[in-house]
Amino acid sequence: MNNSSFVLLITSIALLAMTATTAAFVIYKQEQAGAEVRTKMIDLKIWSDLTSAEDSLISETVGEAGSRSRLRALVLLSESDTIDFLTTVENTAKAVGVGVTTVALEEEKIADPYFNELSATFSLRGEGRSVERVLKLFELLPYRSYIESLTLDRGLGITNATVVIRVSTIK
């Protein structure tokens, strides 16, 4: 093998390595973009469900015959609705890659003449950004609900959170 053939071989190998590295980088970036798009789609679906339920409720007055079915979309009327709420919370967390455990459920009477509140405590565990994402999604749950308290424990790569969500129930 002469010197020019050797230089050509080394140059070809270097170009092949650079091309492979560039291809791997492009594939990695595309996978990141795909994950981001999937997360945005989950956000959009939850937001769409919430606005649809609110729009339906606003479009009818409380005294109309169909108002109970519209109200049903936002509040918990029965034990099966509570199960649906818990399933929604769990599926939302799992879709973002966060582990979720239901720690406590407690119904509490409030001053509102029509509603009580269910206090649901959840334990979350996952990568920090994923836990933050699921907390943002919890604020958009398609229920008349809010986050009452939140405790975050950020570790090396893993974040643990305890969140208390209060959701309205019919008296």
Q: Are 138 and 92 in contact (CB under 8 A)?
A: yes
| Mean pLDDT for all residues in the chain | 83
Domain 3-170: CATH class, spelled out: alpha beta
Distance between CA atoms of 74 and 82, rounded to whole angstroms? 12
Distance between CA atoms of 48 and 31, rounded to whole angstroms? 25
Q: What pLDDT, in 10s, does the model give residues 52-61?
A: 766 665 555 4
**pTM exceeds 0.75:** no
User: What does the radius of gyration of the chain's CA atoms come to, in whole angstroms?
Assistant: 25
Q: Are 54 and 75 in contact (CB under 8 A)?
A: no
**Token duo for residue 136:** 């943002």
Q: Where are the domains of the chain?
A: 3-170
Question: Would you give per-residue pLDDT tens digits along the chain (171 residues)?
Answer: 788 888 888 999 999 999 999 999 999 988 888 888 888 888 778 777 766 766 665 555 445 555 566 666 676 766 778 888 888 899 889 988 999 999 998 888 888 787 888 899 999 999 999 999 999 888 888 888 889 999 999 988 899 999 999 988 877
Q: What pLDDT, in 10s, does the model give residues 42-89?
A: 877 877 776 676 666 555 544 555 556 666 667 676 677 888 888 889
